[in-house]
Amino acid sequence: MASNEVNIKNKRARFEFFIEEEFTAGLKLAGTEIKSIRSGKASIMEAYCVWQDGELWIRNMYIAPYANASFYEHKTRGDRKLLLNRKELNRIEKFLKVKGNTIIPLKLFLSEKGWLKVQIACAKGKKLHDKRDDLKEKDDRREMDRALKR
């Protein structure tokens, strides 16, 4: 089996949002999509999740076209279905009913069995002053680490 060689992260997610709850979901993909992701040619920086017809979909996730594909090529930014349990879907649906809440992807990775998984989070957007507080805390931690090294 393949080891965890795919590790695509959304680095700005924790800076832009307050993370409340995290879930791990499977993705419904075509053959060329998974091959392109395994080669590391994907991005979830602009991606977000939407609730549609009782299902959760990930939108605006970029997967580069597979170089060795013949006539069939996938859409680079098409909607892809997330695979979750009904209990988890019900919790997410309830969370999304509150204004200002959203679902964002945090990370793409391979499970122990070799299946591609996406870690998603229930999140609330941060205001500018919240982001400033985070930057201040980060700078303070950096200064403390520098002082301890001396």
Q: Could you say which DSSP state residue 126 is in?
A: P
Q: Read off the amino acid at residue 140.
A: D
Is 60 exceeded by the pLDDT of residue 4? no
Is 60 exceeded by the pLDDT of residue 79? yes
Indicate whether 70 belongs to any domain: yes
**Residue 102 confidence (pLDDT):** 92
pLDDT in tens, 12-28: 888 889 999 999 999 99
Q: Of 104 and 36, which is predicted with more confidence? A: 104
DSSP characters over 21-87:
EEEEEEE---HHHHHHHHTT-EE-TT-EEEEETTEEEEES-EEPPPTT--S----TT--EEEE--HH
Residues β-bridged to residue 36: none
Is 50 exceeded by the pLDDT of residue 1? no
Is 70 exceeded by the pLDDT of residue 86? yes
Whose tokens are 């859409």? That residue is 75
- How far apart are the C-alpha atoms of 96 and 111, rounded to whole Å? 27
* Torsional class of 132: left (φ above 0), alpha (ψ -120 to 50), beta (otherwise): alpha
Indicate whether 73 belongs to any domain: yes
Is 80 exceeded by the pLDDT of residue 74? no
**Residue 2 confidence (pLDDT):** 47
pLDDT in tens, 124-144: 988 888 888 888 999 999 999
Query: The whole model's pTM is what?
Result: 0.81
Indicate whether 1 belongs to any domain: no
Indicate whether 124 belongs to any domain: yes
- Over residues 106-128, the mean pLDDT reads 90
Domain coverage including residue 116: 7-149
Q: What CATH number does the domain containing 124 carry?
A: 2.40.280.10
Indicate whether 137 belongs to any domain: yes
- Angstrom CA distances, 47 to 99, 114, 118, 126, 128, stand at 19, 23, 12, 17, 21
Whose tokens are 């609330």? That residue is 124
What is the number of other CB atoms lying within 10 angstroms of the CB of residue 7? Answer: 10
Indicate whether 79 belongs to any domain: yes
Mean pLDDT of the chain: 88
Indicate whether 55 belongs to any domain: yes
The total number of structural domains in the chain stands at 1
Is 50 exceeded by the pLDDT of residue 119? yes
DSSP characters over 98-124:
STTEEEEEEEEEE-TTS-EEEEEEEEE
Q: How far is CA 130 from the centre of its chain?
A: 21
Indicate whether 2 belongs to any domain: no
